[in-house]
Amino acid sequence: MRLCVVVAVQGGTHLLAPLLARLDSQMEHGVEVVLAYATGDTASEQAIEALPRPWARKVSGPQNAMVPQLWASAIRTTQGCRVALTTVHCQPGSRWVAQVLGANLDEHAGVGGPIEQGEGSDSVGWAIYFQRYTPFSTEALGRSAREAEEIAGDNAVYDRALLDEVAPSWRTGFWEVDVHAALKKKGHRLAFDPGMGLQHFNGYTASQFAMQRLRHGFEFGRTRSSAMHGARQWLYRGLSPAIPLLFGRKVISRALSHTSARPHLKQAAPWLLTFLLAWSLGEALGAQVPRRDQ
């Protein structure tokens, strides 16, 4: 395979049909799509089975799997020179597959594209965008291809062989920050390609996303605490109650500096605060229970 596109299907199953329709005209020889869902998620499984495509196959991840765990489960089943990651909440542009195939992986281990907010988004959708995606918008990263310190896993393509080199970093889930750190430690670089754009259309309910943030924050805090030892670890645990202030300040600062999205901040603020608190609580709890196998 020249390219395997892994799509995590979790929540927002109504977004699967338009996503596959956008990909219909973009499929080329040697390109396949892997639709990953959690075991027991009957809504996602049924949505996938109701929309068969000759170039798509389904892969089930662990029960109650989070998106990074779905990505990891699907990546393990892929073969080929490059693998791209996204979710059902991100709709590709008309030339997205061509852009992914043309991404410069000769010089970079991974290339990410911008994620813009789709039209007609409600307050929950804007809150999610402010928390997750404003750092990866065209406004934030510019309109020229360049090297990047970080890229969003929701819109990224990687050299498959190099992912195998750092396989321990995604053993428990493809948490892109950890994988990118492992790649950079081996001397590999990341890049940003403004032509490889996706649009975010939220399919989560507010309660679903708040629970996702709690779980993701817990894993982040747990992993971060596991990488620390002695006084540093105890300091991180002790300061964990301050996480809402530090994280909230960072996210709000980014939102205020994003001129095109800023007008939606007021309507999104209540949900944004809710999601920030959910993540912060999760991280603070996770910091107290580091992994024992680290």
Which CATH number do you get for residue 18? 3.90.550.10
Asked whether residue 91 falls in the same domain as residue 163, the answer is yes
- Domain contains 145: no
Asked whether residue 105 falls in the same domain as residue 228, the answer is no
H or E stretch at 269: helix 265-287
Residue 292's pLDDT is 63
- Domain contains 246: yes
Asked whether residue 38 falls in the same domain as residue 102, the answer is yes
Asked whether residue 275 falls in the same domain as residue 172, the answer is no
- Domain contains 127: no
- Domain contains 139: no
| Torsion sign, CA atoms 83, 86, 88, 92 | negative
Nearest to 217 by CA among 239, 238, 240: 240
Asked whether residue 232 falls in the same domain as residue 169, the answer is no
Contacts for 132 with CB less than 8 Å, ≥ 6 apart? 152, 154
For residue range 217-245, what is the model confidence (pLDDT) as tens digits? 999 999 888 888 888 888 888 877 777 77
Residue 279's pLDDT is 92
Provide the H-helix boundaries in the chain.
16-24, 42-49, 67-75, 96-102, 123-132, 138-141, 160-165, 176-185, 206-226, 230-239, 243-257, 265-287
For residues 30 and 1, is the Cβ–Cβ distance under 8 A? yes
- Domain contains 144: no
Ranges of the chain with pLDDT below 50: none
Residue 224's pLDDT is 84
Total domains in the fold of the chain: 2
Asked whether residue 83 falls in the same domain as residue 191, the answer is yes
Burial of 115 from C-beta contacts in 10 A (0-12 / 13-18 / 19+)? buried
| Torsion sign, CA atoms 272, 277, 278, 282 | positive
Instruction: Please state, in angstroms and rounded to a whole number, the distance separating the CA atoms of residues 133 and 140.
Output: 10
In DSSP terms, which residues pair with 165 in a beta bridge?
none
Residue indicated by tokens 């996204």: 86
Residue 232's pLDDT is 85
- Domain contains 222: yes
Asked whether residue 73 falls in the same domain as residue 155, the answer is yes
Asked whether residue 186 falls in the same domain as residue 283, the answer is no
Nearest to 201 by CA among 126, 112, 276, 113: 126
Residue indicated by tokens 């402010």: 130
Asked whether residue 159 falls in the same domain as residue 49, the answer is yes
- Domain contains 140: no
For residues 59 and 81, is the Cβ–Cβ distance under 8 A? no
From start to end of the chain, where are the E strands?
3-8, 31-38, 56-61, 82-87, 90-92, 110-112, 115-117, 146-148, 156-159, 190-192, 198-200
| Torsion sign, CA atoms 12, 224, 191, 258 | positive
Asked whether residue 212 falls in the same domain as residue 196, the answer is no
Domain's final residue, options 200, 234, 260: 200
Angle between helix axes 206-226 and 230-239 (nearest 10 degrees) is: 160
Asked whether residue 224 falls in the same domain as residue 189, the answer is no
Q: Residue 257 belongs to what domain range? A: 206-287
- Domain contains 236: yes
Strands 146-148 and 31-38 come out as: unpaired
List phi, psi (to 5°) of 235.
Answer: -65, -45
Instruction: Please state, in angstroms and rounded to a whole number, the distance separating the CA atoms of residues 265 and 174.
Output: 30
Query: Can you read off the two tokens belonging to residue 229?
Result: 């030892």
